[in-house]
Amino acid sequence: MRIARFTTGDEPSYGVVTGDLDEFGQPADDAVVVTLAGDPMYVGLKLLEQEHRLADVRLLAPVLPRSKVVGIGRNYRAHAAEMGSEVPSEPLMFIKPNTSVVGPGDPVHYPPQTSDLHFEGELAVVIGRICRDVPPEQATDVIFGYTIANDVTARDLQRSDGQFTRAKGFDSFCPLGPWIETDLDPHDFVEGRRVQTFLNGDVKQDGSTTDMVFDVPSLVAHVSSVMTLLPGDVILTGTPDGVGPMEVGDEVEVAIEGLGALTNTVVAR
Ligand code: MG
The CATH architecture annotation of domain 69-268 reads: Alpha-Beta Complex (3.90)
Q: In degrees rounded to 5, what are phi and psi of residue 22?
A: -85, -175
Q: Strand (E) positions, the chain?
A: 2-7, 13-17, 32-36, 47-53, 58-60, 69-73, 92-96, 101-102, 107-110, 117-119, 121-127, 143-150, 153-154, 174-181, 194-199, 202-208, 234-236, 244-245, 251-256, 260-268
Of 157, 164, 170, 171, residue with least CA distance to 116:
157
Distance CA 219, CA 214 (A): 6
Q: Is 3 exposed, middle or buried (0-12, 13-18, 19+ CB in 10 A)?
A: buried
Contact assessment for residue 71 and residue 237, using Cβ atoms and an 8 Å cutoff: no
Query: Alpha helix locations (H) across the chain?
Result: 40-43, 77-82, 139-142, 155-161, 165-169, 186-191, 216-224
Q: What is the pTM of this model?
A: 0.97
Residue 264 CA to ligand 1 center (angstroms) comes to 17
One digit per residue, pLDDT tens: the chain, 269 residues?
999 999 999 899 999 999 889 988 899 999 999 999 999 999 999 999 999 999 999 999 999 998 999 999 999 999 999 999 989 999 999 999 999 999 999 999 999 999 999 999 999 999 999 999 999 999 999 999 999 999 999 999 999 999 999 999 999 999 999 999 999 999 999 999 999 999 999 999 999 999 999 999 999 999 999 999 999 999 999 999 999 999 999 999 999 999 999 999 999 99
Rounded to the nearest angstrom, the distance between the alpha carbon of 54 and the centre of ligand 1 is 30
The answer to whether 256 and 157 are in contact (CB under 8 A) is no
Which amino acid appears at position 11 of this protein? Answer: E
Domain ranges of the chain: 2-60, 69-268
Residues 6+ apart with CB under 8 A from 10: none
**2-60 in CATH: which number?**
2.30.30
- Identify the pLDDT of residue 160: 97
237 Cα–ligand 1 center, Å: 7
Provide the 8-state DSSP code for 232: T
d(C-alpha 248, C-alpha 246), whole Å: 7
The burial of 55, by beta-carbon neighbours within 10 Å (0-12 exposed, 13-18 middle, 19 or more buried), is given as exposed
Provide the residues around ligand 1 (an ion) whose CB is within 5 A.
120, 151, 239
71 Cα to the center of ligand 1, angstroms: 6
- Rounded to the nearest whole angstrom, what is the distance from the C-alpha of residue 100 to the centroid of ligand 1? 13
pLDDT score of 24:
87
Rounded distance from Cα 14 to ligand 1 centre (Å): 27
Residue 94 Cα to ligand 1 midpoint, Å, equals: 9
